[in-house]
Amino acid sequence: MQKYVLFLLIFILTLSGCSGNSEKDKQLSKEKQPDTAIKETSKETKKPKETFGEPQVIDYNLGAREIVQASGWKVPYTVKGTMGVPTGSGKRPIVILLHGNHPIKKYDTDRYDQGFTYLVKDLARQGYLAVSMDINAQYVWEHGEPIEHERLLSIFDTQFALLTKAIKGEDAGFKIPLQGRGDLQHISFIGHSRGAQGTHALANRLKEKGIGTDGLLMAAPMELFVMGSLPDVPLGILLPQYDGDVTGLLGHRIFDREALLPERKNPISVAYMYGANHNFFNSKMHEKDDGIGPSKINDNLQKRLTVEEQQTFLSRYAVDFLNAIYDPDAKKNFYAVKGSAETTGQMYGHPVMSSLYMPGTQYILHPIKEGKVPLEGKVTSSEGVEFKQVTESYIQKNDEAGPFLHPGDQEKMNLLSVRWTQRGGELTIEVPENLAPKNEGNFTVYMAADPSDKLNEPDTPPAFSIVLQDQNDRSAVYKMNADTPAVRLQPGKLIKDDYAAYWSTYTPLSTLRIPLDAFDREKKFGEIRRVTLKFDQTDSGALMIGNLGFTKE
């Protein structure tokens, strides 16, 4: 089946890492790094809000070192990187950036850390001490096979020790005053591609040193075999629609796995970026990779983001994400429902799909987490509505979702398939008394419209109404707008071969939160006992539901 052959191609690409393309686009190779300066919004929890000027950005070289591997092989390298130091005085939160595994001619002279100079500068403009480390030595095979993150940990230990020394006022070779400028107890990581894969290893290393991690931001992350459970900190994930390297968009696997952890106390946000590719996050990666692999099939479906647009998006998202960690007001704005990507389908002027996990969510239905459990007495439907539990998987023997493709190359993701063939049909879910919300917070559903199902008419999103009923059968109704992103039909086409069929683009499940005070309710409406999805806007339709419930935020 093509759907599974597609996975094999992705598997081969990801084993080679984020290698990109070996030849550079001549037209783009001469371009300057775009100035992605953004409005200053930096805030810090325990200090007056500050305004920062143009930072000092340096390229540093701290001399030759050697990594001694467990195998006995030695890897010589030079301690290098790019740093942005904010104006003003006082210690600032530290952000460490990790680049991916990209084409190199000589690993100790090619500089992909410099590909984030624009981001280092933008972060420092907002008051963050930003450090982009050269970690090429982690990826090369010239001195034996890299074993997981052995080399990365050695590189980080050396760089972090020198940074610590400089912040304490000692001469570490940076050739710039750093005494008291970085807060060594407030550190976040931003990683791209395989650099994102390494962020969890470095967070664990900090933990060994008695230092917590404040947040993780991953752009087009690779996730295969070696990434374990992540630290419980705010997590942001950017997924480029036309990723020609990590073609399976494995960051969604990270989201769907981490969101299952019942003890998680911090939010996870995903932005699926229409028109973006893998390479343009790093200014040293000049070639477009959106014509490689499965994305080539969809070559003319969407506008492509330019280099400047994609890098500006990352800069703005990174600043907003980090500000939300350190400032309660910024956090409230970043995760707010009103004006969010889940209601507008936009971020920074570009179309996106949004997936979000908020801690403390009470689920009344969660196929992804619960698996295939008996639904008798819990879920009912009227005539013309059918529902069944299905498994989305790249493994052919496990897959029951047919052409539907959720990102992340899921091994076994259980979903509730809901289909209706007449207007006015209903699906009702009972709300256990212990989970009944007190009429505050939000109703939330994680779902997608199945573009491969013929019950969904082209250009007619299967919007519906949500009816809440209390213990006395009083109702509260919310009528969903047809342009709600969560029911957007993803552009693409049905591709068939001799074995089966699949949709040519991914359809990410997306989160929709609806404030309970936005429902039109009857007087004296009490505690919620039932949730009914009323399919009153289209004659037919098909949805995939991952979970639904109530959240305070």
pLDDT computed for residue 145 by the predictor: 75
Asked whether the predicted pLDDT for residue 105 surpasses 90, the reply is no
pLDDT computed for residue 13 by the predictor: 46
Asked whether the predicted pLDDT for residue 464 surpasses 90, the reply is yes
Residues 306-352: tens digit of each pLDDT: 999 999 999 999 999 999 999 999 999 999 999 999 999 999 999 99
Task: Please tell me what DSSP assigns to residue 547.
Answer: E
First to last CA, the chain: 42
Whole-number Å distance between alpha carbons of 256 and 235: 12
Lowest mean pLDDT among 70-74, 218-222, 254-258, 337-341: 70-74
Whole-number Å distance between alpha carbons of 398 and 395: 5
Asked whether the predicted pLDDT for residue 544 surpasses 60, the reply is yes
pLDDT computed for residue 300 by the predictor: 53
Percent of the chain with pLDDT over 70: 88
| Mean pLDDT across 393-414 | 91
Asked whether the predicted pLDDT for residue 413 surpasses 90, the reply is yes
Residue indicated by tokens 């992350």: 221
pLDDT computed for residue 1 by the predictor: 45
Residues 501-525: tens digit of each pLDDT: 889 889 999 999 999 999 999 988 9
Whole-number Å distance between alpha carbons of 247 and 86: 36
| Mean pLDDT across 93-108 | 87
Sign of CA dihedral 438, 442, 447, 453: positive
How many C-beta neighbours within 10 Å does residue 544 have? 23
Asked whether the predicted pLDDT for residue 164 surpasses 60, the reply is yes
pLDDT computed for residue 142 by the predictor: 77
Asked whether the predicted pLDDT for residue 35 surpasses 70, the reply is no
Asked whether the predicted pLDDT for residue 33 surpasses 70, the reply is no
How many C-beta neighbours within 10 Å does residue 294 have? 21
Asked whether the predicted pLDDT for residue 375 surpasses 80, the reply is yes
161 or 138, which is more confident?
A: 161
Asked whether the predicted pLDDT for residue 83 surpasses 80, the reply is yes
Would the pTM of this model clear 0.85, i.e. be above it? yes
| Mean pLDDT across 142-162 | 89
Mean pLDDT in the chain? 87
Q: Is 108 left (phi over 0), alpha (psi -120 to 50) or beta?
A: alpha
Q: Is 408 left (phi over 0), alpha (psi -120 to 50) or beta?
A: left
Asked whether the predicted pLDDT for residue 47 surpasses 80, the reply is no
